[in-house]
Structure 1
Amino acid sequence: MSAFSKLTDRELTVLLKQGDRLAFSEIYSRHWHNLFLHAYKMLDNEDEAKDVIQELFISLWSKAADLQIKTNLKAYLYVTARNRVINHIRKHRINDDFLNIIAGEMKEADDNTVQTIEERDLIALIDQEINLLPPRMKAVFEMSRKEFLSNKEIAARLGTSEETVKKQISNSIRTLKLKLNQHAGAAVILLELLKHRA
């Protein structure tokens, strides 16, 4: 057992900010497994979860001198891991899921529909219409369907009721459907995917 294993997270953080590699190694050993499980629970993919947490620790070391931890190290790492998972999903999964759904539906659509709207154009169209939602509605919608926060979490963040959040999400989906229905049936199918994400 190393001397560093007896140190608290707060003590290790101080040493980490001073560039102490042994302190970093202890933090890594102490927290890696639980952070991996946290990421894996959200991603349901072992390799992706490992990559996300590995990148987290690389960033932790490279920016150690500038760390600003307002709570405690464990909470900081968990929040950072959650944010990195969310960014990973946004970057690598959301569009892929959308495109897979659309591609499958377009195979059964008529030729005119397929020629009228390309898959990636549809994604851009969805994003464009989301950006045109009223600010509060847009914020609630994106927290729910892009950050994957629960209604309770959104309500707590915005200081409102869960019922209000639920209505905002429902209204935003209804608004988007009305605006996008004229473009292609696939747009509505895409919104159904958004509707059922939790």
Structure 2
Amino acid sequence: MNTFSLSRLSGDEQLWNGLILGDRDSLGAIYHKYVQDLFRFGCSLVHDEDLVRDAIQEVFVDLWKYHLTLQPTDKVKVYLFKCLSNRIQKESQSGQKRKAKLEKYMLDEEVIVESIETSLITASQNRSLQTRLRKALEYLPLRQKEVINCLFFENFSYEETAKIMNINLRSVYTLAWKAISSLKESVGFRIFLLFAVGLFS
């Protein structure tokens, strides 16, 4: 890869347009800007650093391979997270079909999830609580783990999370509701309530 100047190349949209035009420096700048975020996100989904590194490498190989077909965007981070999510999902499934099933009974799950969103974000920003939450997250299914990481650790919106995970908005709410329900069971209902309202210290 050619050497490049980060001071010369700046702004996601500019870098992305450079990549589309076949500028290797733009690809390198995008890689260096987001590789750590991608690695952290990938490792939050699967506990296999080699798989995550390989997946990230494949994402950028594909970006260069298909750069002429890329569409302009100012949401580069969302696009990269979506590509990595798809790659990890494909690898973790080992070629098997997904057996995801939507819950039939989802009474006002949007309201329930959003009602604790603010307190959950606040609580997850506390380092101690974040450590406890991440331990509990390890036991969640991959897609539930991914939706929680996107919403509460990466601070993506529900719409952006839907794009990253390549699912519709309702499915994002469904997965978030399932994940929150599982977390309540795994850490205990009373402890979870304390966590959700930010009283845990």
Q: When the two structures are superposed, what TM-score results if normalisation uses the length of structure 1?
A: 0.49
Instruction: Give the structure with the higher percent helix.
Output: 1
Instruction: Give TM-score scaled by structure 2 length.
Output: 0.48
Greater RCO between the two (CA within 8 Å, min separation 6)?
2
The structure having more radius of gyration, on CA atoms, is 1
